[in-house]
Amino acid sequence: MEYTVNKLAQLSGVSSRTLRYYDQIGLLKPARINSSGYRIYGQKEVDLLQQILFYRELEVSLEEIIKIINQPTFNQTAALKNHYNNLKKKRARLDKIIATVERTIASKEGGISMEDQQKFEGFKEKMIEENEQKYGKEIREKYGDETVDVSNAKLRGMSQEDYQAMAALGEEILLLLEKAYETGDPASDVAQELAAKHKEWLMYSWPNYSKEAHAGLAEMYVADEPFTAYYDKNVKGGTEFLRDAILIYLGMK
C-alpha cells in the first residue's frame, strides 16, 4: 500500500500539517514524490510513523527521536519491545494515579481516612519513571543498581512535606542558576548559594551523600548529553557553570 499525505493522516490520526513538518525536519521523509508533486509514503514509512508515535506517547522529544531512529544500530523490533515495556510502566503509574484519585474521592465523600503520603504516590512514581528514562542508564552505570534502587525507595517513602519541598527546591535551583550565571563567576556568593541548594536538593533522595559522589555527579552533568540538555535548556552554558560552582563549593577546584 502507498499513501498520500492526506491518506496517511486519515490512517494514523496525525494531521497533514504534522506529517509535512516531520518531512521538513527530516524525521519522516516520504518514499518518493510522484509526478504531480505529491508526497508518497510506503510500508516502511508507515511502520516508522508508528514508532514515532510510540515515542511521542512516551513524551520523547522530536530531537531525541531523530537521533534514535537515525542510529545505524536502530532496530524496529527491539524498539517495539522497549516501547512495550515502557508503556506497561506508564500504565502502572497511571493506575496508581487513578487509584489515588479514587481514594481521594472516597475520603472526601465518605469520610474515609487517607494518609498524606498516599496522596502523592502516583506523582512520585512519575518522577522516578522520568528520571529512569532520561538518566537511569548513566546513573546506574556510575553508581550501581543498589544505590539507585535505594534512592528510589527513599523517594517513595518521602513525606508530603519533604516531597513538596524537594520539588520547590528543584525549581528554585533553575531560577538561581540563571541569576548566578549572569555574574560570570562560579565562586560568587550567589553561585555558591546555588551549589549549596544543589547539595540540599540531593540530600532528599541520596542515601549516602559524599563530596566525591557530588563532584562525580557534577562532572556527569557536563559529560552526558541528557543532563547537559536539562540545565542548558534555559541557560546556555549553565551546566558547566553549575559544575564549576559545585567543585568550588566542595573545595575541589
Query: What is the chain's mean pLDDT, rounded?
Result: 84
Write down the pLDDT at residue 47: 92
Cα-Cα end-to-end distance for the chain:
62
Nearest to 28 by CA among 13, 50, 6, 2: 50
| Residues facing 236 on adjacent strands | none
Query: Which residue do the cell numbers 513524551 mark?
Result: 59
**pLDDT digits over 190-211, tens only?**
999 999 999 999 888 877 788 9
Q: How is the chain split into domains, by residue range?
A: 5-69, 75-158, 160-253
Nearest to 195 by CA among 213, 209, 177, 183: 177
**pLDDT digits over 92-115, tens only?**
777 777 777 766 676 666 665 555
**pLDDT digits over 19-55, tens only?**
999 999 999 999 999 999 999 999 999 999 999 998 8
**pLDDT digits over 167-182, tens only?**
889 899 999 999 999 9
- Look at 251 and 94; give whichever has higher pLDDT: 251
Alpha helices in the chain, H assignment, sequence order? 5-12, 16-24, 43-57, 62-69, 76-110, 121-143, 145-156, 160-181, 189-203, 211-223, 225-232, 238-249
Give CATH for domain 5-69: 1.10.1660.10
Position 251, amino acid: G
User: pLDDT tier at 123 (50, 70, 90 boundaries)?
Assistant: low
User: pLDDT tier at 187 (50, 70, 90 boundaries)?
Assistant: very high
Give CATH for domain 160-253: 1.10.490.50
